[in-house]
Chains A and B, each alone.
Chain A
């Protein structure tokens, strides 16, 4: 009995919001697509009732806003019903984006941690690097992404790597900021304590600073992985839209395939949520192993 109650207190709020979003979505679809439905009827010289109009807004081929079931049907069609190797499979496109995301995320995390260590240990790095790290994020990624692709292409690098680099560009930032904060989180007393044991700097890094930074690192990784996915999608836009979720988005917008755009969008969202959730699980396991209560 209690278990059922626990389950609902966990799922209930999520479920409620989901229903609300779906309702708003359907209402919006009717409202936005009605103009086209009336337009069609007018040109055919027929008058349609309200319920006929509503039915029409649910099944247009290129609606302004596709209804949820159209999107779900499209996703089902392009994932379950298509072979994974097919160029029409959303799983195939998703994997292409995911691989760039993961590679870029790994680069970004490594770069972020390295920079943070440098910034914490060297005052001159703190003064010189940090402003550039912040400046890097004020440049719109949409402006710099094509440059990266073009420049790398000119020196013969194409495919996965340029996209991963754009991912890295977005994902290293939260890691730097979080890790600098985390590595500086030990208080003066804890640092004094290390001094009383005349511990070398490297020792206090490995035994105090690094473990202290773990909660901060995981918070940053969650933001970083989502940013990585955005980076990979943005990186796919200027490549001529051959493969990946970004390509699906761009191709969809070329041909007015709104259903395709929305299904790619939803897939990207599901992917991002899953990545964040996976990091959340690793976070829980790691911090619990470390004995830290969360």
Chain B
């Protein structure tokens, strides 16, 4: 048994709105072990993004306990325990790609030399070497998203949280980035939490798939993947892959037929 990096116990989050309370999350129990690739999948409104935001201490749960690296989520955020990749790349237009990646490093007080080293290292990781002097508008959407992943990798966080990072990209670019992300995962050995609404993406990437259902947002099933850790896009035609995808689809259907 590996050590648990992220653990949620009886976690609930209720938003008070003018139309009454919205149960975004209810009784979430989840353990993510070191080095796992965990996908959160579900229809919109199932709380998958909210759960990721709770882990990142961007939302505060109304009930239950969330621990990250054995600390409270807020402490973990202060310790810069994770890198977060948002749906939009969110690069600053007035900074070059290199400058954008340096931004968290400047905030965290790395010295100039180390900043430079890290920028070139992570740019190589996302295959963007030589682009550090370019401005964001000079890059395609996929390249911008890769730069934002590089930014999240630049500092020493063992956890990478990604909220539908490829949601806005077309399928071909998305496939390519999925392959790159897997490679990145195997070289960096990071623990990854990944929100998506695409079944093939979730199955292709994950070692564990968390299927969620809406109203109230809850975990309906956790599916462990038995696919080998070395994967290529062709694996999507294999029987094992299709079996897991079918399981996820069934579970999603069950969740939505509740209404």
Taking Cβ atoms with an 8 Å cutoff, the residues of A that contact B are 189-190, 192-199, 203, 207-208, 211, 214, 290-293
Contacts and interface: CB of A to CB of B under 8 A. Distances in A.
B107 A197 contact: yes
Given A291-B94, A293-B137, 17 more contacts: A189-B90, A192-B58, A192-B84, A193-B84, A193-B90, A194-B107, A197-B108, A198-B77, A198-B80, A207-B107, A211-B92, A290-B93, A290-B94, A291-B93, A291-B95, A291-B137, A292-B93
B96 A195 contact: no
- Chain B contact residues (Cβ within 8 angstroms of A): what range? 20 to 34
Contacts of B137: 291, 293
Contacts of A211: 92, 94
Contacts of A208: 92
Interface of B: 53, 56-58, 77-78, 80, 82-84, 86-88, 90, 92-96, 103-104, 106-108, 135, 137
B78 to A, nearest CB: 5
Contacts of B93: 290-293
Given A193-B86, A198-B77, A291-B93, A207 B106 contact: yes
Given A192-B58, A196-B58, A198-B80, A291 B135 contact: yes
Nearest to B78: A198
Nearest to A287: B94
Nearest to B58: A192
A29 B53 CA distance: 71
B80 A197 contact: yes
A190 B84 CA distance: 11
Given A196-B82, A197-B107, A198-B78, A190 B56 contact: no
A196 B56 contact: yes
B84 A196 contact: yes
Contacts of A198: 77-78, 80
Nearest to B161: A196
A199 B94 CA distance: 19
A293 B136 CA distance: 11
Contacts of A292: 93-94
B142 to A, nearest CB: 19
A293 B137 CA distance: 9
A195 B107 CA distance: 11
